[in-house]
Structure 1
Amino acid sequence: MKKKLIIILKNIVCSLILPVVAFIIFYYIARSKGNSSYGDFYTWRAILTNAAMPICIGSVIGLNLKNGRMDLSSGANLALTAIIACTLTQAVHGNGFVLLGLCIIFGVLFSILTATIYISLKIPMVITAIGMVLFYESLTKVVNGGNGSNIVSTSNLNYWGAVPYSYVLAIIALLIYYIITKYSIFGYESDAITNNQNVAVNVGIKEKRTVLAIFIFSGIILGLGATIYASNNIIDQQSNLASVGIVYSNFIPIIVGLYLARYSNDAVGIFIGSITIAIIRYSLNLVGFSSLENIVIGVFIIIFSIFTNNQDAIIKKFKNRKLNLQRNEINISN
């Protein structure tokens, strides 16, 4: 019982260490710059608000990555979905639920289109995704006359971007991700295809059906994310693969999520990773270093990747060093 409790405590500490360390670092930076309000209720409300979007995007990326595919078109899909949904909602004088419904519908439709082209052409996902990015971005220049969308100041539509509504959508996104990857037949079949595609197909798994199902569920989550994104951002037309930045700027949650799966599960990891990136973004903006956001996030990803890929060697090195110090102390005492 005691050993089990120690393991649980260890898993909790390992899961929470990233956001805690990030918060402590920026807490002292903010205080050194004379900001005494950092860490109060409003700070955490802003952080939680900023974390909802990464949760949704991280879930979309994670759902595809766990199935051996990197869908770079998610960002362009999200931007186009948000623009179309906002344009139609305002045209029919709809409310926030109309916006949410349209975002989910178009998110799923565009995901099905991407999946259909990927399945039909039988070309690598990266090539398919880049082609779809260019296609979706070109459509953002046509929809609504190329004016994008702006509902930031429209109170009957933009409430999905604020707490607690944004977290209702984020929690739904995480639940879909968790259920699909852990308990659905599509999750089991995807794992089998990822581990050994030929064997999986030979035992009767229908690969095309599984791929299409995963894209449909990722489209639902993407629709939730598009609703939050549209509520908090003025969305302009996209070009020159600019929308890919939406994917990479929210890549930390899935990297952290897949790593923390060993301590809890990847859904919890995506949540913790999203909180971490929200702390970094909010804090950099607060202390006047918002221009360094991409640099800090890039450095974080590099350092985190180096550590996770060499974790065992690093831990072994520190243990050996500690053991050598203990031996030296014993020799000195003798």
Structure 2
Amino acid sequence: MIQESEENHYKLDKIDDHEPDPYVVPPYSTMHVQDDIAAAKHDVSEHDLDDMNDFARRTALLECEHLKSNIPKLEEFIPSEYFPNILLVNDTNDLVSGTGCRFKTTRYAREEKPSRLLIEYERVWPVFDRDVQSNLGVPSEAKTVDVNRLAPKATQLRVARLHLSASSLIGVGHHSTVYRGIAVKIAGSSSSARGMLEKEANIYNKLPKHLMEDWNGFNLVTPHKYPVPADAVVPKFYGYHVPKDPYIGSCHLDRSPILLVEECGVPIRSYGMNPDEWCCLTHVLRLHYANFIQNFLYERNILIQPGPLSHPPSERSFDRPSFRIIDFGRAERLED
């Protein structure tokens, strides 16, 4: 174990000689998960639950829900050529208005009906070369890519569908609510809540890709004295979308933008964590070294799930947990 107290078994230069070049460790492919679901689908036994603390138990049950629904979690990056320009949202419970979502969930879960009208959303971030070239599906204020770098070949418009349901609630914050469907974050109805969601999306858009990826080997994140796995720090970013028509009928409400990120488990509970799991706090240091400050760090904003994500879901364990920092509505980038 590398320590700054000079108690290393090897000298640092010898360790460097044995260390392989860094490379990305990709998550287990979603395409393979679909093939594995029949074999991996099972209920968590009472014995397994007894051996878990509270947040581990909730995460295990969440994984089973995914398996039973035959919908694997998306844990990979979406290639730019397949990233949707347009998002057609089936909002069964009028969730995109951002009003009253804390209190509606149970009642709406029983009364849910398919929406007759798909709500059209346009992607603002991220922006790709093909968006400017095709001039499709991205609001004009987002079209800032250097046209001199564009490939000459045209790109077709990409359309995706998103089903929103109050029964898929993940969490509720002061200014927003999160639903499962990747992780779908919707702002409350106030202008401050909408502004915070836009700010969070802007931070995700600026976060370097390597902070969303797992890498081989370990990092020595000073002043922490021990090496920690070079895991991802934040969820993958799947886009920030705004409604093409923001107004809802004749009422004075408008539809919230939608932030899509990777779903990464449940909040930690510090009283049940062992010393190895406390290394998740080095994620905060890695954000700082990348010139980002989260500015609102609570237990609920650090998520845990079984790992490693390079293994099939049925082979993941809390012996190798995966952590992510979330909620960047108050975050700053020091270079801005």
What is the TM-score normalised by the length of structure 2?
0.28
Question: Which structure shows the bigger proportion of residues in helix conformation?
Answer: 1
Structure index of larger Rg? 1
Question: Which structure shows the bigger proportion of residues in strand conformation?
Answer: 2
What is the TM-score normalised by the length of structure 1?
0.28
